[in-house]
Amino acid sequence: MTLNIVILAAGRGSRMKSETPKVLHTIANKPLLGHVLDTAAALESGNTIVVYGHGGEHVRQTFAESALTWVEQVEQKGTGHAVLQTISALDDDATVLVLYGDVPLLRPATLEPLVEKAAQGPALLTAVLTDPQGYGRVIRDDKGLFARVVEQKDAGADELRVQEVNTGVMAMPALMLKKYLPRVTNNNAQGEYYLPDVLSMAVTDGFDVQVVTVDDAIETEGVNTRAQLVQLERAYQLRQVQTLMAQGLGVADPARVDIRGTLTAGKDCFVDVNAVFEGEVVLGDGVIIEPNCVIRNSTIGSGTRICAMSHLEQAIVGASANIGPFARLRPGTELADKTKIGNFVETKKAVLGEGSKVNHLSYIGDAVLGAGVNVGAGTITCNYDGANKFQTTMGDNVFIGSNSTLVAPVTIETDGFVGAGSVVTKTVGQGELAIGRGKQRNISGWKRPEKNK
């Protein structure tokens, strides 16, 4: 069976109060349309057609690298009119599935039964809502079979009491869609061309419309307002965390973890509150993430603890390391096993060997440190001369005293020792002590300045 997926993404989204096209607003740092395209890919669509309109060029640029067929809907005249624009792009032997660019939470597993049923005839995805206000109602005949969809503004009092609603998601053979769609009229309260009218036509011709009812109605919710965007963000995040919990991840509060990408966790990991994971993050076994940490595109080795308020980006951290609190690891940081980055330490393009420590209040940038190095508080590597970056190199077992300034390019060889408060501008040889500080003078009889009277 060939599957064609039509994604309607032409809406302006005026209630979002934004210049950004609605389908480019994000959930988990991914555009709404991106989530729908992921679903289409999981269903192995042979041809994915996106109907665009408002902000269309911006939408197309955002997904320029995706293999998509783009169809413009110049005037927005309803869902039937939107799908009508795609008729010439549909394969005659295909089953056509219609999705929406602002409905991001539909799972492939929910849509697969719908697609299967639609191979021989029309099929509709419905939901049962406690409060169906605003939705088209699904009307069934006396045998319980689908009869038609009645939009809210066209419904009578009895029809408005129906709680089964049309989600807008439907599927049917392409030739059937091509037959009925041009016959849809706009004779209704909205003056629009409604896509569900093709189902009524199929019923009139003797076809049974197969109905699949979604288990969790949140999957079919769309985004029209900022409030709805937030609601679906939370639903999406909870879904991800619950999946990871089922795989063994421990969390303090599932409602206070955000995964904006992919998180892979080993056994016995624990994530405390307000953790944010972005991009591709991998945690080894037994990793502990304390509160209020942000970890982006990083790998954390087994047994490592990331203490509170730490920020890691494009970092590789070995096993049994300790980071933070209040540490910042910038891109290019690579820490070996049993390393320590303490509070208010920033690293950038820094490679630390096993057991090395930078405990507090230091900046280590463009540096390579051997094993067993100890960097004292307030130390900085002066890696930038205003035009170019230079590297600082330290051998194994180097000791850097507090408040030292290492002016790159500079090397401190194995077992080198730098006295506290030194400015180091040239190589410190193996086992040497470097002291580069101004000479102290004590002045007797000195009087403290006084304010003028």
pLDDT tens digits along 170-183:
999 999 999 999 99
**Residues ≥6 apart with Cβ < 8 Å to 326:** 308, 309, 310, 343, 344
Pick the more confident residue, 262 or 447. Answer: 262
User: How far, in Å, CA of 99 to CA of 68, rounded?
Assistant: 14
pLDDT confidence bin for 188, thresholds 50/70/90: confident
Place of tokens 């420590």: 357
Lowest mean pLDDT among 77-91, 306-320, 417-431, 439-453: 439-453
| Residues taking part in catalysis | 360
Q: Please answer whether residues 372 and 389 qualify as being in contact, where contact means their C-beta atoms are separated by less than 8 angstroms.
A: no
Q: What is the pLDDT of residues 403-439, one digit of tens each?
A: 999 999 999 999 999 999 999 999 999 999 999 988 8
What's the pLDDT at 12?
83
Average pLDDT, whole number, for the chain? 95
**The two structure tokens encoding residue 410:** 């500079």
Q: What is the pLDDT of residues 259-300, one digit of tens each?
A: 999 999 999 999 999 999 999 999 999 999 999 999 999 999
- Check whether 355 has a pLDDT greater than 90: yes
Question: Span 240-258, mean pLDDT?
Answer: 97
User: How far, in Å, CA of 268 to CA of 250, rounded?
Assistant: 7
pLDDT confidence bin for 343, thresholds 50/70/90: very high
- Check whether 164 has a pLDDT greater than 90: yes
Which domains occur in the chain, in start order? 2-220 (3.90.550.10), 226-434 (2.160.10.10)
Question: Span 365-393, mean pLDDT?
Answer: 97
pLDDT confidence bin for 367, thresholds 50/70/90: very high
**The two structure tokens encoding residue 60:** 């197309």
- Check whether 357 has a pLDDT greater than 90: yes
What's the pLDDT at 248?
97
Which is it for strands 30-31 and 26-27: parallel, antiparallel or unpaired? antiparallel
Q: Please answer whether residues 381 and 401 qualify as being in contact, where contact means their C-beta atoms are separated by less than 8 angstroms.
A: no
**Residues ≥6 apart with Cβ < 8 Å to 77:** 186, 192, 193
Q: Please answer whether residues 422 and 401 qualify as being in contact, where contact means their C-beta atoms are separated by less than 8 angstroms.
A: yes
What's the CA angle centered on 32, arms 27 and 37, to 5 degrees? 125
User: How far, in Å, CA of 190 to CA of 186, rounded?
Assistant: 8
pLDDT above 70 coverage of the chain, percent: 100
Q: Please answer whether residues 194 and 181 qualify as being in contact, where contact means their C-beta atoms are separated by less than 8 angstroms.
A: no
Pick the more confident residue, 155 or 406. Answer: 406
What's the pLDDT at 189?
79
What's the pLDDT at 269?
98
Question: Span 82-88, mean pLDDT?
Answer: 96
- Check whether 1 has a pLDDT greater than 80: no
pLDDT confidence bin for 242, thresholds 50/70/90: very high
pLDDT confidence bin for 440, thresholds 50/70/90: confident
What's the pLDDT at 176?
96
User: Which letter does DSSP use for residue 26 in this model?
Assistant: E
User: How far, in Å, CA of 126 to CA of 79, rounded?
Assistant: 16
Place of tokens 């909870």: 238
Q: What is the pLDDT of residues 30-70, one digit of tens each?
A: 999 999 999 999 999 999 999 999 888 999 999 999 999 99
Question: Span 308-314, mean pLDDT?
Answer: 98
**The two structure tokens encoding residue 204:** 């009139």
Q: Please answer whether residues 122 and 176 qualify as being in contact, where contact means their C-beta atoms are separated by less than 8 angstroms.
A: yes
What's the CA angle centered on 66, arms 64 and 71, to 5 degrees? 75
